[in-house]
Chains A and B, each alone.
Chain A
Amino acid sequence: MIIHHFTKMMSEYSNHNKNQGGKTLDNVIWLESKDNVATVLNDVEQGAELQIGDKKVSTTEQIPFGHKLALSDIPAGEKVYKYGEPIGMATQDIPCGAWVHVHNCASIRGVAN
């Protein structure tokens, strides 16, 4: 069940990142272990160190609230996964920690049909 997994990820993440000394808590949702992107639930600065599951990812650029970052290098032509399902294809090489959106990811359905 995706929903349970989502909750687990949320609580795991918050355990790793207890808000200490007034430091802002970066809030990230990684829905399924198959996913090579995660969604941030606050504006995340460039160079932020994020603990996502057992991975440490450093952002290569700013990621706006509600947007996605790559959890691994995603070569051009490879599928981008969220919800454990393909949401599109990388249109260029996407480095780990980069912002994933319309500039580097396109619909497979929209293009192929």
Chain B
Amino acid sequence: MPVPGLLAPFRPSADDPWDRARAAHLAARSGFGATPEEIDRLLALGPERAVETRLDWPGGADPLEARARELGAPLYEFPAEDEGRPPAIADARAWWSWRMCATPNPLEERLTLFWHAHFACQESDEIPLSLLLRQNRVLRAHAAGPFAVLLALVARDPAMLTFLDGRRNVRARPNENWARELMELFTLGVGCYTQRDVVEIARVFTGWGVSRPRDPEFRFHAELHDPSDKRVLGRVVRGRGGEEGVCEGDEVLAALLDGPAAAEFLARKLLRWFVEDDPAPELVEAAGARLAACGFHVREFLRELLRSQAFGAPSRRATLVKSPAGFLVSAVRALRVENPQLLALGDRLRELGMDLFHPPSVAGWELGPAWIHAGSVLLRARFAEQIAALPHSTRKVVGAPALDLEELGQGLRHTDALVRQLGARLVGRPLAEARVAELAERLEQRAPREGHARTRAAIALVVGSPEFALE
């Protein structure tokens, strides 16, 4: 199959080698930040195996579940009902943010977060957390698989059926909520359908509901389904009565993915999550064609994307704004804080605008530069100061250490050497020398000349820097 030039694979050459910078870029964009250890590992693997190792995570046994049991703290484990008490959203936020920090498979988390933002549902009176946790397992299990499978499962997901009123969409009284967002936000984008399509698709999905109000499972209620013919996006969907009525919905889901609109819509969204804020139409078109060519198989598409010359091009490096999750988790990982409970990470994430299991609307979060404004940068800087103020504990002591200030600032008498080392360690790429000088000057004006207080001030400065805000 010919590969369009825009996504041609990266071929190392003398001018454009597989080097530390390229490996660091892959680490950062396929996870949360790039620690020196991670960069070393990917660099040693070479460009193709490096991508493969990021894409390959076990589907079954989860090493993190074992690690959570080892740590024993309830917040690390999958939030479950505790003596009849339903799981709390705070526990769920803590659980997922810990996973992001501790996982050996960061792309699994980043992609699951992508789908959480794509198929955004909110916890509420009507949608208990248990339903969202179940949805999270579905998103996670199918994050890198064929999109058609994920879409079919989400269409049957009790949290989604409740959030977009699918369970109340019945023959006598069709409800347009799911039908509209299915096209506008999940598959095609605004402008690719008419209000007439919304009305017709609502009728197609009448009867898609749940088994019982508490602890619901998907169920198709044939008696509530409208069995007449519908006309959707210019084609006729033959109406069917009885249990066969459910096939109409699956037929429409397949039809939505048939044609370039959905492929380009999803490709553009994936490009914005992994490559750049505003991908050029030609790139979107090329990526959409590749996504369609691999049958909307997300892992195959990402393999091609992450291996492409375009993905790692120097002009794209350190240009994306980290999401709040990217920002917090990369700081925790770079500083090797193994006990993120010290930071109440889930709550911090919420303060910075990424309330897990409670996105602002069905459209998820606005991405990219929208994360940055004069309000958010101050809150991010406050976090930088909080993480720099964690207790000092040397890594040699067994247990869950906080900040090893000796390791981070050891033996560095000169302020610029300290800034240079912390910059490379935390940001994942060397700071420009002019910037090292600027930050060192600030540090000398404001912080003690030596000791742990100086190291802490330097950490706050680097985590708060524009360089750290980008990936």
Q: Do A and B come from one complex?
A: no
Chain B residues near A (Cβ < 8 Å): none
Binding site for B on A (CB under 8 A): none
